[in-house]
């Protein structure tokens, strides 16, 4: 393909990606063996089959390198290639307290990840989570299985919210323990660590809200209906200790949950104000007019512009990191929304030419699913 030819749409983008014959299933894989493959994904879908994806990626990229979105690092190749083998050998002999840990910055930068999760926390409608469980309770005529299904779906939504909101304080905790933020200056690290008092308040108020919700569910429904929720609670919310003897009426527990939701909103707003008053806030490169032109991340985009802007800042950074390490063999999985952003930015000439192999989610899934079926048939003996 000519170097100056541009991608005109998300669908046309797949035609710009070189395809090689797999030789086994008789179909084409979109992965390449001689450069970095950046592949779009739905995180939930890929999380459910991560081991298989790693096996597939190793076979068709020719490398055991497989990174989830948050794992890919900016590689200082001169330094790393010179010292990696020596350091690895030393770690074998050194006590754990003195062993070397990888301090290369993550390609998905700390600052942008933190802002993204703050945006999620600010724009999450936690009152809707409360309203939904109240509505489910009010529909008494629901059949048992239908009721069970509705409650389980609600619980999974709560778990998803917890996963993303908790990153607000987890990231600060990782920074304080020197596990992240390696690209930050000392002054930036200090400013982020000073936000700990705000993120700790968010952690406390969010967990209080979750405990109030689960306590409400336990009071309102019989054990046989919420058995799955009780099981998942222990797995997903081990800190959510509810008082079985506290038999307040459901109406009072709804009031408690509403109050804790307000407290959570206040704690998040306090963090946002502190960020806005600091030098840590980054004015997005993506302008409002550019947001209007770009294909939306989701139907929520128009409701939550800050989330969209920060997400697109991350897309630019991911592209820059991938370009800088385009000869790093293996597969880096990122959100499909970021792939769409990169394609759009490339089409508009707003980023440097793509030097790596960019694969969208749909194209990856075509061959992955065929490989999966072929592997299953081979194991079962089906022709």
Can you give the three-state secondary structure of the chain, one letter per residue?
A: CCCCCCCCCHHHHHHHCCCEECCCCCCEECCCCCCEEEEEECHHHHHCCHHHHHHHHHHHHCCCCEECCCCCECCCHHHHHHHHHHHHHHHHHCCHHHCCCCCCCECCCHHHHHHHHHHHHHHCCHHHHHHHHHHHHHCCCCCHHHHHHHHHHHHHHHHHHHHHHCHHHHHHHHHHCCCCCCCCCHHHHHHHHCCHHHHHHHHHHHHHHHHHHHHHHHHHCCCCCCHHHHHHHHHHCCCCCCCCCCCCCHHHHHHHHHHHHHHHHHHHHHHHHHHHCCCCCCCCCCCHHHHHHCCCCCCCCCCCHHHHHHHHHHHHHHHHHHHHCCCCCEEEEEEHHHHHHHHHHHHCCCCCCCCCEEECHHHHHHHHHHHHHHHHHHHHCCC
Q: pLDDT per residue over 95-151, tens digit each? A: 444 444 677 888 888 998 999 899 889 888 889 999 988 888 655 555 777 888 888
Q: Could you state, in order of their start, the residue ranges of all structural domains in the chain?
A: 10-72+310-380, 79-106, 110-276
Q: pLDDT per residue over 171-182, tens digit each? A: 999 999 999 999
- At residue 3 the predicted structure's pLDDT band, cuts being 50, 70 and 90, is very low
- Among 10-14, 32-36, 51-55, 339-343, whose mean pLDDT is lowest? 10-14
- At residue 25 the predicted structure's pLDDT band, cuts being 50, 70 and 90, is very low
Residue 38's pLDDT is 97
Residue 249's pLDDT is 76
Q: pLDDT per residue over 273-309, tens digit each? A: 898 888 776 554 544 455 445 554 444 444 455 677 7
| Overall average pLDDT of the 82-103 stretch | 51
Residue 235's pLDDT is 73
Q: pLDDT per residue over 216-258, tens digit each? A: 888 888 777 777 677 667 777 888 776 655 667 778 888 999 9
């Amino acid at each position: 393909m000519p170097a100056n030819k541009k991608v005109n749409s998300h669908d046309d983008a797949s035609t710009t990606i070189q395809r090689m014959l797999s030789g086994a299933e008789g179909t084409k894989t979109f992965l390449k063996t001689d450069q970095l493959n950046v592949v779009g994904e739905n995180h939930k879908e890929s999380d459910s089959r991560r081991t298989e994806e790693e096996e597939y990626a190793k076979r068709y990229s020719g490398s055991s390198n497989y990174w989830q979105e948050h794992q890919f690092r900016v590689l200082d190749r001169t330094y790393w290639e010179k010292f990696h083998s020596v350091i690895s050998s030393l770690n074998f002999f050194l006590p754990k307290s003195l062993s070397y840990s990888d301090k290369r910055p993550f390609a998905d930068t700390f600052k942008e990840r933190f802002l993204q999760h703050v945006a999620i926390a600010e724009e999450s409608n936690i009152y809707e989570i409360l309203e939904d469980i109240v509505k489910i309770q009010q529909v008494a005529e629901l059949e048992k299985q239908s009721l069970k299904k509705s409650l389980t779906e609600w619980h999974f939504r709560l778990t998803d919210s917890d996963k993303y909101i908790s990153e607000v304080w987890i990231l600060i905790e990782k920074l304080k323990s020197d596990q992240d933020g390696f690209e930050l200056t000392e002054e930036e690290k200090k400013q982020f660590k000073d936000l700990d008092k705000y993120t700790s308040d968010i952690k406390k108020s969010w967990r209080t809200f979750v405990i109030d919700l689960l306590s409400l569910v336990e009071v309102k429904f019989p054990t046989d209906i919420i058995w799955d929720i009780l099981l998942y609670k222990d797995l997903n919310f081990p800190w959510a200790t509810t008082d079985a003897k506290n038999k307040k009426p459901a109406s009072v527990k709804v009031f408690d949950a509403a109050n804790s939701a307000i407290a959570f909103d206040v704690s998040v707003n306090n963090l946002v104000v502190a960020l806005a008053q600091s030098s840590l806030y980054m004015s997005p490169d993506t302008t409002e007019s550019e947001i209007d032109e770009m294909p939306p991340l989701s139907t929520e985009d128009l409701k939550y512009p800050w989330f969209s802007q920060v997400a697109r800042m991350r897309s630019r950074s991911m592209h820059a990191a991938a370009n800088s390490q385009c000869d790093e063999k293996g597969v880096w999985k990122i959100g499909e929304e970021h792939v769409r952003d990169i394609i759009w930015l490339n089409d508009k000439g707003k980023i440097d030419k793509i030097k790596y192999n960019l694969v969208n989610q749909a194209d990856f899934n075509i061959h992955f699913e065929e490989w999966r079926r072929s592997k299953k048939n081979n194991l079962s003996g089906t022709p």
